[in-house]
């Protein structure tokens, strides 16, 4: 998610995202199943990217609205799915005139360390009794990749910090509760994820998602850091010509306390 305040600096290229990283929305189909959208419901897709899952939600007969901070993603979503409404806005600070029956989010919220601001906006957007169904990176997500980058960077005198928010079940449930959202179910699970593009898979992943992680390393030194990262991880994460990222997912279903 592109962030106007620079909390994460990734500039999304919507075509590259769709072509080389389609697993993001393909896995998201399972989160739509968990949402169980129904005809006539009004549902917000928070961090909708290029809108594939917004469209899946609207296939159920619900009115689906997609929201993303990236102009480029929103404009591609509007072109591809003219039947859905898409809004360019910051997930930490949005509001709508009409409330939603559900807020949905797939693989977007871990880009936003200020999760309290997000959940406040989510709570304000929901009807009493409305539900929040989300998947994001959970505690330990991509830890092997981040550690390898950290070590390679440190060897060259640079300090890198992971820019993402990967909460545990306990942390996230407390946060939800403090915003009037009751956790109905939460799961944290490993999802080793095969990356596309063979031997370039890990380098491509870092190019697409790792801007903020690699930011302290000067551009001309990044290729050697990436190659060092590949050497460190090859034995564990590269098999039969394919890189696998050590993803861990947190899935939650929560509901607004109706007394709020
Ligand atoms: C994720 O979906 O888990 C993820 C994507 C990009 C960077 C970090 C994590």
Looking at residue 37, which CATH number applies to its domain? 3.40.50.150
Strand partners, 42: 63
- Summarize the confidence of residues 138-149 as an average pLDDT: 98
CA-closest residue to ligand 1 atom 6: 209
Q: 205 in a domain, yes or no?
A: no
Q: Is the CB of 247 under 6 A from ligand 1?
A: yes
CA–CA distance, 188 with 114 (Å, rounded to integer): 21
CA distances to 68, 90, 111, 122, 227 from 203, rounded to whole Å, are 26, 29, 20, 34, 8
142 lines ligand 1 (CB under 6 A): yes
- Best residue among 2, 10, 47, 110 to mutate for probing ligand 1's pocket (most ligand atoms within 8 Å of CB) is 110
From ligand 1's centre to the CA of 234, what distance in Å?
A: 19
164 touches ligand 1 (CB under 6 Å): yes
User: Is the CB of 105 inside a 6 Å radius of any atom of ligand 1?
Assistant: no
Mutate which of 47, 139, 142 for ligand 1 pocket (most atoms within 8 A of beta carbon): 142
CA of residue 43 to ligand 1 center, whole Å? 24
pTM above 0.85, yes or no: yes
pLDDT confidence of 19, banded at 50, 70, 90?
Answer: low
In 3D, which of 118, 3, 125 has the Cα closest to residue 71? Answer: 3
* Structural domain contains residue 19: yes
204 is a domain residue = no
Number of domains forming the structure of the chain: 1
Question: Residue 81 domain-assigned?
Answer: yes
Predicted local confidence at residue 22, as pLDDT: 72
Distance 126 CA to ligand 1 centre (A): 26
Nearest to 41, CA basis, from 108, 127, 133: 127
Q: Is residue 233 part of a domain?
A: no
Q: Counting atoms of ligand 1 from 1, which one is nearest the CA of 247? A: 3
125, part of any domain: yes
The answer to whether residue 227 is domain-embedded is no
pLDDT band at 12 (very low <50, low <70, confident <90, very high): low
- Locate the ligand 1 atom nearest the alpha carbon of residue 245 and give its number: 3
Residue 218 lies in a domain: no
pLDDT digits (tens, 9 = 90+) for 173-232: 999 999 999 999 999 999 999 999 999 999 999 999 999 999 999 999 999 999 999 999
Average pLDDT, the chain: 93
Residue 111 Cβ < 6 Å to ligand 1: no
- 33, burial (CB in 10 Å: exposed 0-12, middle 13-18, buried 19+): exposed
| Domain of residue 23, residue span | 14-141+163-196+249-256
Q: Is the pLDDT of residue 108 over 80?
A: yes
Do 74 and 66 touch, CB atoms closer than 8 A? Answer: yes
For the Cβ of 180 lying below 6 angstroms from any atom of ligand 1, the answer is: no
């Amino acid at each position: 998610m592109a962030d106007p305040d620079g909390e994460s600096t990734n500039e999304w290229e919507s075509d590259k995202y769709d072509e080389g990283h389609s697993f993001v929305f393909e896995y998201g189909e399972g989160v739509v199943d968990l949402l169980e959208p129904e005809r006539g419901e009004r549902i917000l897709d928070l961090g909708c990217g290029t809108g594939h899952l917004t469209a899946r939600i609207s296939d159920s007969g619900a009115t689906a609205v997609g929201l993303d901070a990236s102009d480029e993603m929103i404009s591609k979503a509007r072109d591809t799915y003219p039947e859905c409404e898409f809004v360019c806005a910051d997930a930490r600070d949005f509001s709508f005139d009409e409330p939603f029956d559900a807020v949905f989010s797939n693989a977007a919220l871990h880009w936003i360390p200020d999760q309290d601001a997000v959940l406040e906006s989510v709570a304000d957007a929901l009807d009493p009794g409305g539900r929040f169904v989300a998947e994001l990176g959970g505690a330990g997500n991509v830890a092997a990749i981040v550690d390898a980058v950290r070590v390679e960077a440190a060897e060259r005198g640079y300090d890198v910090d992971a820019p993402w928010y990967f909460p545990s079940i306990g942390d996230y449930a407390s946060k939800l509760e403090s915003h009037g959202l009751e956790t109905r179910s939460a799961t944290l699970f490993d999802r080793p994820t095969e990356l596309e593009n063979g031997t370039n898979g890990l380098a491509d992943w870092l190019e697409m998602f790792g801007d903020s992680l690699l930011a302290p390393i000067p551009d001309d030194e990044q290729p050697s850091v990436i190659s060092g990262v590949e050497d460190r991880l090859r034995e564990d994460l590269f098999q039969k010509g394919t890189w696998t990222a050590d993803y861990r997912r947190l899935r939650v279903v929560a509901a607004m306390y109706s007394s709020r």
